[in-house]
A and B are shown apart, each in its own frame.
Chain A
Amino acid sequence: MFEITDQPLSLEPVVNAVKKSSSGAIATFLGVVRERTRGRMVRYLEYDAYREMAVPKMREIADEIRRKWEVDEIAMLHRIGHLQVGEASVAIAVSAPHRHQALAACAYAIDRLKETVPIWKKEVWTDGEEWVGPPT
């Protein structure tokens, strides 16, 4: 499961998508909107995505993971649109026979997603707004 959605996210669909009888572990990551960022109070975030490229880039990350670790299944969901503080923006689950592979692959998945998947967020603060990219 690799999707961009404008609907609220939870871990349940990604966990269900990676369940396999060969798995002994499912590692998950849920990214949520934080109230305070670099000293400013967040009112809400606005996410934008290049959907037609974002989903193939998620699949490429899954391929990278399969070359590095023995895993069973990988699922990634990213929400776009208007998100309030506390809402989930990204949900990832990785199943594997053993926990170490699942945990390492899940951490890799979120790090790579932030590097290569064309999704952007606008932080709207109580006193301004900005499209945010990585520190360069």
Chain B
Amino acid sequence: MRVRVRCFAAVREIVGTGELVVDLPEGSTLTQLVDQVRGQFPRLEGLVSSLLFSVNREYAPFDKKLAPGDEVALIPPVSGGGHV
């Protein structure tokens, strides 16, 4: 099955595009998607532990099951925090 993967900020710079299409076995979870993407882009390694994920525009846990056509986003920590 195919899912769309939206990439932002530092992730977009590493991947080199704002959107990937990833082919996964039916029934895969976010964990399997992330493993595949980090295998393809080893420079993501340092970032993976800080990423959040969304599926169809809602934050989702690692064990979330994916369906064909889902829109996943790799979400680096958001901009705010204590700096502004």
Going nearest first, the 4 A-B pairs with the smallest beta carbon separation are A114-B80, A134-B81, A133-B77, A120-B9
Measured between C-beta atoms, what is the minimum distance from A2 to chain B in Å?
14
Interface pair B84/A133, CB less than 8 Å apart = no
Measured between C-beta atoms, what is the minimum distance from B48 to chain A in Å?
14
In Å, the complex CA distance between A40 and B81 comes to 17
Tally A residues with Cβ within 8 Å of B: 28
- Given A114-B80, A134-B80: 13 more A-B contacts, CB < 8 Å: A31-B84, A34-B84, A37-B83, A49-B8, A50-B54, A52-B57, A114-B79, A114-B81, A115-B78, A119-B78, A120-B79, A133-B50, A133-B78
Interface pair B73/A115, CB less than 8 Å apart = no
Tally B residues with Cβ within 8 Å of A: 20
Interface pair B73/A53, CB less than 8 Å apart = yes
Chain A proximity mask over B47-83: 1 for CB below 8 Å, otherwise 0: 0001000100100000000000000010111111111
Does B2 lie at the interface of the complex (its beta carbon under 8 Å from any beta carbon of A)? Answer: no
Q: Of residues 23 to 45 in B, which have CB atoms within 8 Å of A's CB atoms?
A: none
Residue from B12, B73, B79 within 8 A of A133 (CB atoms): B79
Residues of chain A contacted by B12 (CB below 8 angstroms): 48
Does A118 lie at the interface of the complex (its beta carbon under 8 Å from any beta carbon of B)? Answer: yes
